[in-house]
Structure 1
């Protein structure tokens, strides 16, 4: 099966680091494709829509050459795009769905982005000093020590493919307004969340579990960027879940 990997707000495929290679090693019979949202990565010169639906439509055009069916692994805002995609896909197009530390309009605003995170995120997105911004974003999204070389890599990504302030706010607006349709798009999906997430409350994933009886697994202390903090844990949860889906 071909899998699409989607990152979150203002992040691109390079921010996955070694995670796609780890997925390929763990699941050699599958193919994994990291795809950039509009306004980020290879599409950083493109204007980002300010709705999840608009972002999803552009992502679907990007992957039109990849054979169906798809599985999707998506983090944060990428999970919103993945969910909207699954709810609007042709029958059988999306067969597996893994959403990591994501949220939706099924949860109250103070859970979708914790109140203490709002001013920090807005301040960081508008900050001009790129190295300090990327380092501080890492400290906000990760609950592990941040090595200097990692902060330098994220700084280099932003230098090469800068996300404009307008696109950052368009994505933020899209995420804040997203409410899924009420119907369950798949019989099961894997929801992965962390109790230690300082941006999105894990109760957002619990809300989807309760609504649609999907599979939820909680990590005790990792941060919002769960693939950065605990990639091995994610691989193990996918390995356990896949035969059941």
Structure 2
């Protein structure tokens, strides 16, 4: 089985850290592909589109060489792209869907991004001093102690593959306007959310569970970057949910 991994706002495949390696170790019969959203990572010289459907179309162009069917594991805004993908997929194109701390237009805007997070996010994205910006992004998205080595790693990513302000603005605009179709795209999906998320309220995942009867699992205290804070917990939930595991 081939999995596509998608990150969130202004983040790229390098920000997964060793999470893909942990997935490969836990599921050796599966293949995991980290794919960048336009304007980030290997595509940092591009500008991001300002709608989720157009971002999704650009992501799909990158994976034409990967055999179908895909499964998707996506975090935050990447989850919006994955949900839009599931709703527009060809028959037999997608097999499994795992959404982590994501949101959609089904929830009110003050839950999609908590009021206290708005000024911090916009200030961080506009900040020019890269090391302190990346350190403070980690402090906002993680609820765990942040080692200096991780701050340096994220700083190095931004130095090598900087995300420009137009991409950051377009991604914010796309996320704010995203409205899924009303039809349930799959019989089941795995929704993983953190009660300790200080950016997106876990009720956004609960709303998808309520609306479509999908499977919801909640972590009690991890931050928004659940793959960073509790990668083993995510893998455990996937092992329980995936058939044949």
Question: TM-score normalized by structure 1?
Answer: 0.99
Structure 1 residue 244, shift from structure 2 partner: 7.7
- The 5 A counterparts of 1:93-132 are 93-132=93-132
Q: Distance in 1 between matches of 2:91 and 2:113?
A: 32
3-state SS of paired residue (1:223): coil
Matched, 1:48 2:73: no
Q: Distance in 2 between matches of 1:97 and 1:138?
A: 26
Structure 1 residue 151, shift from structure 2 partner: 0.2
Map of 1:213 onto structure 2: 213
Give unpaired runs (5+ residues) of structure 2.
none
Give unpaired runs (5+ residues) of structure 1.
none
Q: How many residues in Structure 1 have an aligned counterpart in Structure 2?
A: 245
Q: Distance in 2 between matches of 1:243 and 1:56?
A: 27
Map of 2:178 onto structure 1: 178
Map of 1:199 onto structure 2: 199
Q: Distance in 1 between matches of 2:115 and 2:92?
A: 39
Structure 1 residue 115, shift from structure 2 partner: 0.2
Map of 1:39 onto structure 2: 39
Q: Deviations over 1:199-224 (max 9, x none)?
A: 00000000000000000000000000
3-state SS of paired residue (2:53): helix
Structure 1 residue 193, shift from structure 2 partner: 0.1
Map of 1:223 onto structure 2: 223
Q: Deviations over 1:114-148 (max 9, x none)?
A: 00000000000000000000000000000000000
Map of 1:68 onto structure 2: 68
Q: Distance in 1 between matches of 2:126 and 2:54?
A: 24
Q: Deviations over 1:51-107 (max 9, x none)?
A: 000000000000000000000000000000000000000011011000000000000
3-state SS of paired residue (1:139): helix
Q: Distance in 1 between matches of 2:83 and 2:118?
A: 23
Runs of 4+ in 1 over 4 A off after TM superposition: none
Structure 1 residue 228, shift from structure 2 partner: 0.1
CA-based RMSD: 0.9
3-state SS of paired residue (1:243): coil
Question: TM-score normalized by structure 2?
Answer: 0.99
Matched, 1:147 2:157: no
